[in-house]
Amino acid sequence: MVLGFTHGDAQAPGAAQAPQPADNPIDDTIVAGDSDADTPVRKLVSWNEYEGKWFSIRGGGGFLVDYAAFAQDDASKQQVRLDSKIQLRDARALFRGKLKLFKSRSLTWSSGIMYNSPTHTWQFRQTGIMVGVPELWGSIFVGRTKEGVSLNKVMIGYAGWTMERGTINDAALPILADGIKWLGYSPKLHLVWNAGTYVDWLSYGLAFSNYKRQTAGRIAYVKFLTPEGGDLLHIGLNLRYGVPANGQIQLRSRPEAYPSPYFVDTGKFDAKNTKLIGPEVYYRNGSFLTGSEYYFQKVNAESSGNPWFHGGEVFTSWLATGETRRYNIRGGYFEQISPRHPVFEGGLGAWELVLHYSYVDLDSASIRGGKFWRITPMVNWHMSDHVRLEFNYGYGTLDRFEQSGRTQFFQTRIQLQL
């Protein structure tokens, strides 16, 4: 089954109708579920697909297991207790397909169910319907989805260059929301964008639902610097306005290690609304990719002094085996690596070297959530389209509780997906 298709007649440089070769640097397709609906380039099995007269369906899933060990100085031990641990990071089932109701426009659907290990429950992930609307230069999605703020957040975690997103990203940006989102692309203007509005009617009380209602969007200028599209520049701006649920908000984040407790945490405090702005810049030159995102969030909380929080990240990635991380021009994000020579076909797989730095500051006005920075060199071994191993070392400093504690992180992850 092929889920890829284009909206309208515009084609990005080097784009092709799906399925596309693994070394194509640009993907010109988008379906319901955004990056979560991207399928591996190579098929592992075919029994999970059905192509019928009226609809198609593909079943898939993912599985992540993490191991983390820590080395702390005395100040860090007084701030937070850390124990070596193996922990299930993610287990999910994904279903997606196409509804063949209209000849003139595309109609796709997606549904995901994920196991939430902290609460030991199953929850719906990106679930909804997307309709192609060429008249609006894109598509409209209705359902549960990612808000669209942050290129790194829009990407599925399985495709990221790091194990976890930056600390400010997890602290300030919810992973999902229920509402309606417009995704658009203008090749003539070199612009890709999304804008949406969301409410918590169906998600109230769920772990990711911290807001009663919110409006969010992102616009990016994307310039292909070579005719085939291998070199590109992405410059974007993110905007977000939200009204916290129950009139309270809490920003907190783990130190990019899921088996760890939270390092920075504002605790809950009264707030009327939040306003967020953040630039993002990415540059890809073949096997090299570098990028940065930075966010500023203003909280309307008079009793706490109307605090400002901020933070960001910068990284560089090099695929030593020569692959290029593909860019999805319709969604404005990068996709997972497809090795040129998978291990299970007698090759070396794809080897990716990454250097990542992140910073978060949750100290402002009367709020003392802490400051934390971390630098992380790591290696990703993409054995195939379906198996990935990750190894990283991190060094970080936490300023909180009137102490500055230093921690070393030793982490590995196994990733399986279908």
Assess whether pLDDT exceeds 80 at residue 389: yes
Q: Give the whole-angstrom CA distance, residue 165 versus residue 143.
A: 24
pLDDT for the residue 45 = 84
Assess whether pLDDT exceeds 80 at residue 94: yes
User: Domain spans of the chain?
Assistant: 26-417
Q: Report, at the CATH architecture level, how domain 26-417 is classified.
A: Beta Barrel (2.40)
- Whether the CA torsion 378, 175, 172, 398 is positive or negative: it is negative
Q: Label residue 17 by pLDDT band (50, 70, 90).
A: very low
pLDDT for the residue 163 = 97
Identify any residues that bridge with 93 across adjacent strands, giving them in sequence order.
61, 113
Assess whether pLDDT exceeds 60 at residue 7: no
Residue 182 burial (CB count, 10 A)? 18
Q: What is the CA radius of gyration of the chain?
A: 21
Assess whether pLDDT exceeds 90 at residue 153: yes
Q: Give the whole-angstrom CA distance, residue 395 versus residue 94.
A: 35
Q: What is the pLDDT of residues 278-325, one digit of tens each?
A: 999 999 999 999 999 999 999 999 999 999 999 999 999 999 999 999
Q: What is the pLDDT of residues 212-225, one digit of tens each?
A: 999 999 999 999 99
What is the mean pLDDT of the segment spanning 245-265?
Answer: 97
Q: Label residue 364 by pLDDT band (50, 70, 90).
A: very high
- The model's pTM: 0.92
Return the half-sphere exposure (C-beta side, CA atoms, 13 A cut-off) of residue 174. 32
Assess whether pLDDT exceeds 90 at residue 13: no
What is the mean pLDDT of the segment spanning 19-26?
Answer: 64
What is the mean pLDDT of the segment spanning 109-125?
Answer: 87
